[in-house]
Amino acid sequence: MLSRVADSIYWMCRYVERAENVARFISVNLNLSLDLPGQAVQQWRPLVVTTGDDALFTAGYEAATKENVIRFLTFDRRNPNSVLSCLTTARENARSVREIISSEMWEHINRFFLMLKDTSGYRAAFDNPYEFYEQVRLTGQQFQGITDATMTHGEAWQFCRLGRAIETADKTSRILDVKYFILLPTPRDVGTPYDDIQWSALLRSASAFEMYRQRHGRITPARVVEFLVLDREFPRAVLYCLTEANESLHAISASKTGSFSNRPEQLLGQLRAELAYTKAEEIISRGLHEFVDDLQKRLNLVGEAVCDTFFAVRPVSGGAAHVAAVSGGAAQLAAVSGGAAQLAAGAASSAIGVRASE
């Protein structure tokens, strides 16, 4: 497979997953507004902080109101991680590999993009946000189902699965980080009914509420962390996602599981092994925010290694530095060191890839 094709498929799936997860972030606060008493104050800046786009938001908006945050995270084209920006880049990547993906995948991602671009979608985000963001989440999940049902599970599908798994692991950890930032102003609420409501809203936003109840019953912080980070069977748990990503990497390189033949397999294998032998109580005693911050940095390193190993254009004869052939953006790396925005790792010719700013 051409590295350009693998690159486009990888980022197409990452960006669709990212769009869905941004909608999940917003759903955290929307769910809280339904459950918290009327006098409780909603906090919207934590959503911007945990997506890593705080500086960009501050440059363009005066206050972190509900309307401003929803507009910034959903429709603002200046924000490369907004839902509309993600779907624009995903659609352009899909367009460049239409001969590889199924027609059902292309049609669905095109409808997904048009749903966000249409003015009626803009109005729905403010007039009926609960239904609108639920529709965004469902459409993202439908794309995953269509991909798995209509695409041959060969090398191209493995790159799609790899990108989706890395993105889901990162965004599940960020959903946990939303809880940390929401509680910062009111630590006295820890252990109160307010705290339970917030954890419940977080679980619902990760589509994990019912599965958590079946596994653990009563909601406690340690068990929520265990379920969303360390569970081996829940498909949005970090450890589950890392396991899937690890399987895809080994399928692509044809190396044996338990060994490594390249840098991304080594980094991912080390991270997965550490999580597999970690307890939730250890994560909490270390500090949830600190753990999530370190996890995101290491996931960034895995993503960078994947791009360097599989997508980089190298000279035939040695000596010259390799040039990253980026498609889907001038380096579509989710560079989230402590919540930093994605890094631009160099410009690429439009013949090679699709720019995120388009």
Q: Looking at the chain, list the stretches that DSSP marks H as alpha helix, in order from N- to C-terminal side.
A: 3-35, 45-51, 54-60, 66-74, 83-96, 103-117, 119-127, 129-150, 155-183, 193-205, 209-216, 221-225, 238-253, 263-276, 280-286, 288-306
Q: CA torsion sign, 45 to 48 to 51 to 52?
A: negative
Instruction: Indicate whether 336 belongs to any domain.
Output: no
Phi-psi region of 154 (alpha: psi -120 to 50; beta: other; left: phi over 0): beta
pLDDT (0 to 100) of residue 177: 83
Instruction: Indicate whether 334 belongs to any domain.
Output: no
pLDDT (0 to 100) of residue 38: 53
Instruction: Kindly state the tokens that stand for 177.
Output: 């980080």
Number of domains in the chain: 1
Determine contact, residues 56/206, Cβ cutoff 8 Å.
Answer: no
Q: What are 7's strand-pairing partners?
A: none
Instruction: Indicate whether 340 belongs to any domain.
Output: no
Model confidence, pTM: 0.83
pLDDT per residue as tens digits for the range 2-52 = 899 999 999 999 999 999 999 988 887 887 777 665 545 567 888 888 888
Domain that holds residue 67: 3-324
Per-residue pLDDT of the chain (358 residues; tens, 9 = 90+): 789 999 999 999 999 999 999 998 888 788 777 766 554 556 788 888 888 888 999 999 989 898 999 999 999 999 999 999 999 999 999 999 999 999 999 999 999 999 988 877 788 889 899 899 999 999 999 999 999 999 999 999 999 999 999 999 999 998 888 776 665 545 555 556 677 788 888 898 889 999 999 999 988 889 999 999 999 999 999 999 999 999 999 999 998 888 889 999 999 999 999 999 999 999 988 888 899 999 999 999 999 999 999 998 766 554 444 444 444 443 454 443 444 433 333 333 333 344 343 3
Instruction: Indicate whether 338 belongs to any domain.
Output: no
Instruction: Indicate whether 228 belongs to any domain.
Output: yes
Which one, of 97, 98, 137, lies nearest residue 116 by Cα? 137
pLDDT (0 to 100) of residue 355: 38
pLDDT (0 to 100) of residue 42: 61
Instruction: Indicate whether 123 belongs to any domain.
Output: yes
Instruction: Indicate whether 150 belongs to any domain.
Output: yes
Instruction: Indicate whether 113 belongs to any domain.
Output: yes
Q: What is the DSSP string of 147-183?
A: HHHHS-TTHHHHHHHHHHHHHHHHHHHHHHHHHHHHH
Backbone angles phi, psi at 324, to 5 degrees: -75, 120
Calculate the CA dihedral of residues 136, 164, 234, 340 and round it to 10 degrees.
-80
Exposed, middle or buried by CB within 10 Å (0-12, 13-18, 19+), for 256?
A: exposed
Q: Which strand (E) or helix (H) includes residue 312?
A: strand 312-313
